[in-house]
Amino acid sequence: DTGVSQNPRHKITKRGQNVTFRCDPISEHNRLYWYRQTLGQGPEFLTYFQNEAQLEKSRLLSDRFSAERPKGSFSTLEIQRTEQGDSAMYLCASSYISTNEKLFFGSGTQLSVL
Amino acid sequence: GENVEQHPSTLSVQEGDSAVIKCTYSDSASNYFPWYKQELGKRPQLIIDIRSNVGEKKDQRIAVTLNKTAKHFSLHITETQPEDSAVYFCAASTPWRQLTFGSGTQLTVLP
């Protein structure tokens, strides 16, 4: 499968713990996005990278969230001191840079904070 | 920032009938409007998109129309089939910016 890959698929954690998710984009794509999706809602933008540079962060991304994309390849999203409100599906997407890009999504990581 | 409103939130149609989902956007600079289909437990998949320099685009049973003056765009699915049942999301973006999604429409095609 040469699509966007995300790991793990599911993560259950206790409130206050740290969690880290990984995304491997389509290899030739230079933009990588993180979105969050809660039940019954559309994906909400969190942040994106162009190559290794993090170009924009949503105000949804509190100080407890950090994302990296070392060497412009895979990306990680870490949530520190998780809260129950962090429970959601975390989606990664990648695209070619252009004025408007077709986003290709991964299957997501479903986070449950108990 | 951009705001995208989508309706209806749920839609049930008989197999073979047409389905229409409508979205409005707020930023007149938006110029790219994709539609994604998400089946239960699966990733959102791009099914059709349109850019602001065209008013309509068709791909087999799926079509999208865009009215830039009114700032709304619609998805039309003809001859619906049970496998069309899914959640459909519209989205909009301005040049060089990220997509803003609507809240989704749960489409159910009844046999």
What does the mean pLDDT of chain B come to?
94
Give, as one character, the DSSP assignment of residue B93: B
Is the CB of residue A105 less than 8 Å away from at least one CB of chain B? yes
Is residue A9 within 8 Å of residue A26, measured between CB atoms? Answer: no
Query: What residue of B is the nearest CA neighbor of A107?
Result: B43
Whether A38 has its CB under 8 Å from any CB of chain B: the answer is no
- Per CB-CB distance under 8 Å, the chain B contacts of A106 are 43
Q: What is the pLDDT of residues A78-87, one digit of tens each?
A: 999 999 999 9
Does A2 contact B at CB distance below 8 Å?
Answer: no
Read off the pLDDT of each residue in B13-34 and give the average, rounded to a whole number.
96
pLDDT at residue A101 greater than cutoff 80: no
Q: Does B46 sit within 8 Å of A102, measured CB to CB?
A: yes
Average pLDDT of span B4-30: 96
Listed range (A24-33, B92-101, B102-111) with the worst mean pLDDT: B92-101
Q: Do B98 and A105 touch (CB under 8 A)?
A: no
Higher pLDDT, A90 or A61: A90
Asked if pLDDT for residue A21 goes beyond 80, the answer is yes
Which pLDDT belongs to residue A98?
Answer: 63
Smallest CA–CA distance, residue A9 to chain B, in Å, is 10
Report yes or no: B60 and B48 within 8 Å, Cβ to Cβ: no
What is the model's pLDDT at position A102? 85
Q: How far apart are CA A3 and CA B34, in angstroms?
A: 19
Sign for the CA dihedral angle at A114, A9, A62, B23 comes to negative
B41's CB contacts (< 8 A; 6+ apart) are none
Which band of pLDDT confidence, cut at 50, 70 and 90, is reported for residue B1?
confident
pLDDT grade, residue B102 (50/70/90)?
very high
